[in-house]
Structure 1
Amino acid sequence: MAPASRMLPVVARRAASIQSMTPAEAQELLVKQRSNRPTSPHLAIYKVQITMALSSMHRITGVALSASLYGLGLSYVFAPMLGYSVSSTAIAAAFGGLPVAAKFAAKLLAATPFSFHAFNGIRHLIWDTASQLTNKAVVQTGVAVLGASAVTVVGLLLL
């Protein structure tokens, strides 16, 4: 038997075939190859966890708040051209003339994403310090974010 230093590794080799084909034939081959590929896992196979849900909601509320900010900024630019006033006095007068249910809905629509995004942002800042990163702590801070957001929203609705 040969010494270990002289043994060569066994390498499996496969012959590659090369053939020329038209773009239509190449597309057909690609479609055929893709149909043989396994389907990758989808979100439906995962158990929804508080971390997943809060991460999604943080992104959604961030986009909503950004869109609201840009919309308000653009309204200050374009509203006067259309004959509307968006001064603080005009907004306060319009809000004051709304029915109580509409005021409640407007406050809820504004307070909920703002308070959640703010508290969840603080949670992310805490994570940036490399603390509260265990599975148990992540769930606890998620529940704390939801609780603090709910208390804040109720407080803002009562103003």
Structure 2
Amino acid sequence: MFALRVAAPLKAAGRLQTSVLTQSVFAKTRVMAPVGTRILSTSQSNQREVTVAPIIEQRKNRPLAPHLTIYQPQLTWYMSLFHRATGGAVAVGFYAGAIAYAVGPMVGYGFDAASVTSLIATVPTAAKIGAKFLIAYPFTFHSFNGIRHLLWDTARGLTLKGVYTTGYTVLGLSTVSAIGLALI
């Protein structure tokens, strides 16, 4: 089918003479199925193509697994979600800052060390401490929770009591260290 679609414009232009024999050879050595079809068999002799539209419609009508809505929220559930969110936030913040620092002066946006320092000097102290805490907490939480996961990789702290103990330890260490970094 694919080969026939490739050969059709050439035939229309008069450059390629296709016969029934060449069409059957093209059909037997087909590499790709037409768009919207799926080949059900891998053998050349009994390939059968099926349109995938009905399959997609059936998938739309399937019930979704209730996964999170049927369980009681637990500390591990929240910490897993927050670990992923803080990892994304730290990555986005790092890359956005690095790109702004590298590209800013070239496009006329004054994002260099001198302009950033002078801007921060005009901000009130309470706002500086709050902003530094908001930047430090995701970083410290993600770091300490990553250490917790490395501890789990050594098969330590995997009991229910150990999971909750390390979870509360991560929350406490994250908060104390973020406050410490914000007050520097």
TM-score (ref. length: structure 2): 0.64
- The residue identity in structure 2 corresponding to 1:141 is T
- The residue identity in structure 2 corresponding to 1:121 is G
- Does residue 130 (structure 1) correspond to residue 155 (structure 2)? The answer is yes
Structure 2: runs of 5 or more not aligned: 1-50
Q: Name the counterpart of 1:60.
A: 85
Deviations 1:67-113 (A, max 9, x none): 01110111123211232333333322211111233212311221110
Q: Note if contact 2:105-2:112 (Cα within 8 Å) is conserved in structure 1.
A: no
Q: Name the counterpart of 2:119.
A: 94
Deviations 1:40-90 (A, max 9, x none): 223111111111111111110000000011101111232112323333333
| Count of aligned residue pairs for this structure pair | 135
* 81-90 or 98-107: bigger deviation: 81-90
> Which structure ranks higher in relative contact order (CA pairs < 8 Å, sequence separation ≥ 6)?
1
Q: Note if contact 2:132-2:181 (Cα within 8 Å) is conserved in structure 1.
A: yes
Offset at residue 136 of structure 1 (A): 1.0
TM-score (ref. length: structure 1): 0.73
Q: Secondary structure at the match of 1:48?
A: coil
Offset at residue 150 of structure 1 (A): 1.0
Structure 1: runs of 5 or more not aligned: 1-22
> Which structure's residues are more often helix, by fraction?
1
- Does residue 74 (structure 1) correspond to residue 92 (structure 2)? The answer is no
Q: Secondary structure at the match of 2:65?
A: coil
- The residue identity in structure 1 corresponding to 2:163 is V
- The residue identity in structure 1 corresponding to 2:162 is A
Question: Would the alpha carbon gap of residues 40 and 77 (structure 1) be closer, same or farther in structure 2, given more than 3 Å must change?
Answer: same
